[in-house]
Amino acid sequence: MLILHCPYCGVDADETELAAGGQAHIKRETVGSSDGDFEEYMFMRQNPRGVHFERWRHVNGCGKWFHAARCTTTLEVFGTYSAQTLRPPQDLLTHITGKRPGWSFSQWLETLS
Partner 1 sequence: MSNAVSALQGKSFEGYVTVTEMGLRGMLTLRGDFGSTVLTRAVNEITHCDLPAVNTCTTRHDRGVAWMSPDELLILCPHGEADGDVAKLADALRDEHFLVANVSDARAAFQVKGEGAREVIAKLAPVDMSPEAFAQGHFRRTRLAQTPAAFWMPDTDTVELICFRSVADYVFDLLKRAGTEGAEVNFYR
Partner 2 sequence: MSTRLATGGRHLDRATSVSFDFNGRKLKGFKGDTLASALLSNDQMLVGRSFKYHRPRGIVAAGPEEPNALMNLGQNGHFEPNARATTTEIFDGLTAQSQNHWPSLDYDVGVVNSYASRFMPAGFYYKTFMYPAPAWKHVFEPFIRKAAGLGKAPKERDADTYEHFYAFVDVLVVGGGVAGLLAAERAGKAGAKVLLLEQSAHWGGRAPVDGAEIEGRPADAWVTDTVDALENMDNVTMRNRCMGAGVYDHGYALGYERLTDHLAPQAAPRHRLWRIRAKHIITATGAIERPLSFAGNDVPGVMLAGSVRDYVVNYGTSVGDRTVVVTNNDDAYRTALILKDAGLDVPCIIDARPHGGGALMEDAKAEGIRVETGKAIAKVKGGKRVEGVALCAQAGEGAILEEIPCDAVAMSGGWSPVVHLWSHCGGKLIWDDAQAHFRPDPAKAPTGADGQGFVSVVGIANGAMSTGDCLTDAVKGTNAALQGIGISPKRTAAPQATEEPENPMAAVWKMPQGASYKLRSKMFLDYQNDVKVSDVQLAAQEGFESVEHTKRYTTLGMATDQGKLSNINGLAILADSLNAKIPKVGTTTFRPPYHPISMGAIAGEASREIFQPIDKTPLHQWGEENGAYWEPVGHWRRAYCYQRDGESVEQAVNREVKATRESLGLLDASTLGKIIVKGPDAGKFLDMMYTNMMSNLKPGKCRYGLMCSENGFLSDDGVVARMDDDTWLCHTTTGGAARIHAHMEEWLQTEWWDWKVYTANLTEQYAQIAVVGPNARKVLEKLGGMDVSKDALGFMEWKEGKIGGFDARAFRISFSGELSYEIAVPASQGRAFWDALLAVGEEFNVTPYGTECLHILRAEKGFIMIGDETDGTVIPQDLGLHWALSKKKDDYLGKRAQQRDHMTDPNRWKLVGLETVDGSVLPDGAYAVADGTNENGQRETQGRVTSTYYSANLGKGIAMGLVLNGPDRMGEVITFPKVDGTEVQARICDPVFYDKDGEKQNV
Which residues contact partner 2 by CB under 8 A?
1-3, 14, 21, 28-33, 35, 38, 42-43, 55, 57, 59, 63-65, 71, 74-77, 83-84, 99
Tell me how far apart the alpha carbons of residues 105 and 82 are, in angstroms, rounded to a whole number: 17
Smallest distance, Å, CB 7 to partner 1?
A: 10
Angle at 97 between CA 94 and CA 100, to 5 degrees: 155
Count the site residues for partner 1 by CB under 8 A.
12
Beta strand pairing call for 77-82 and 3-5: unpaired
DSSP state of 90: H
Choose the one of partner 2, partner 1, none that binds residue 35, judging by a C-beta under 5 to 8 angstroms depending on kind. partner 2
Q: Which of 4, 17, 52, 79 binds partner 1 (CB under 8 A)?
A: 17
Cα separation, 76 vs 27, in Å, equals 26
- Smallest gap from residue 78 Cβ to partner 1 (A): 23
Cβ neighbours of residue 40 closer than 8 Å, sequence gap 6 or more? 29, 113
**Does the protein bind partner 1 through residue 63 (CB under 8 A)?**
yes
Least distance CB 27 / partner 1 (angstroms):
25
Q: Tell me the C-alpha distance between 56 and 49, whole Å.
A: 19
Q: Would you tell me which residues interact with partner 1 (CB under 8 A)?
A: 8-11, 14, 16-17, 60-64
